[in-house]
Amino acid sequence: MSKRRGGTPSTNGAQPEEEAKTAALRQYETTEGHFSLVRNFRLADLITIANGICGSFSVFMSAKYLVTNDEDYLWSALAFPLAGLLFDFFDGKVARWRNESSMVGQELDSLADLISFGVAPALLAFVIGFRTYLDTVALTGFICSGLARLARFNATVALVPKDTKGKSKYFEGLPIPTSLVLVGVFAYWTLQGWIDGKQGLPGGTITLWGEPGGDGDMHLITPVFACWGAAMVSKTLRVPKL
């Protein structure tokens, strides 16, 4: 799962956390000249950005599939989030190896995760057939739940109990990279032809109001996205860190 690279967390209250943020910001403010932000990027930051690049490519490949109906683009869109997970795994390893933790790296990590494991999977769901009005409402909720979960993590990571090595013992809520389980399901459906334009999504749709084919239609599997989003923002669900 994703490992944020913020400053050394403390359980003694908000003041040490604020001091760490201030120190990180001061580091970037003292560097002058053109592209000072880019010149301050560490190796771990560049690996994190590679995660965001993978998510962005997935989004564009999904769009290319919608335009061309070329299934090669769809398979590329399905593969890029997995590549993003590899970068997401290694950025934390590299940050600890090189002792390069920073608040900027922490924010980069969350933003890249939102693209690769929030926006990209939701667009893939739309591409393969979740396209009714209620489907898009559920997918929007899924993305926003991931956004809220990442924001909460950054704000509360210092309060989560730590082990003897200083690592958090658990995640509060379902980590957003778990959305790759859904991407894996989409890949299987694509392989079987259970997508829009072929056999259609498993289970079909139901009509909650109005006439079939209207805004009241929803795929039977759509509530999975709502439940996944609820699990991500859950305060009581605790997933042990491996």
**What tens digit of pLDDT does each residue of 39-60 get?**
566 777 888 999 999 999 999 9
Q: Which is higher by pLDDT, 195 or 92?
A: 195
> Contact 161/148 with Cβ under 8 angstroms?
no
Which domain does 184 fall in, by range? Answer: 14-240
CATH number of the domain where residue 131 is located? 1.20.120
Query: In sequence order, which residues have a C-beta less than 8 Å from that of residue 195 and are 6 or more positions away?
Result: 128, 129, 189, 201
**Considering the domain boundaries, does residue 1 fall inside one?**
no
pLDDT of residue 231: 96
Q: What is the pLDDT of residues 175-226, one digit of tens each?
A: 999 999 999 999 999 999 999 999 999 999 999 999 998 999 999 999 999 9
How many domains is the chain partitioned into structurally? Answer: 1
Nearest to 240 by CA among 159, 172, 148: 172
Mean pLDDT of all residues in 13-36 = 54
| Dihedral angle computed from the Cα positions of residues 147, 178, 121 and 152, in that order, rounded to the nearest 10 degrees | 0
pLDDT of residue 20: 53
**Considering the domain boundaries, does residue 5 fall inside one?**
no
Q: Which is higher by pLDDT, 207 or 1?
A: 207
**Considering the domain boundaries, does residue 131 fall inside one?**
yes
pLDDT of residue 47: 87
**Considering the domain boundaries, does residue 22 fall inside one?**
yes
* Residues of the chain above pLDDT 70, percent: 77
pLDDT of residue 3: 54
> Contact 175/1 with Cβ under 8 angstroms?
yes
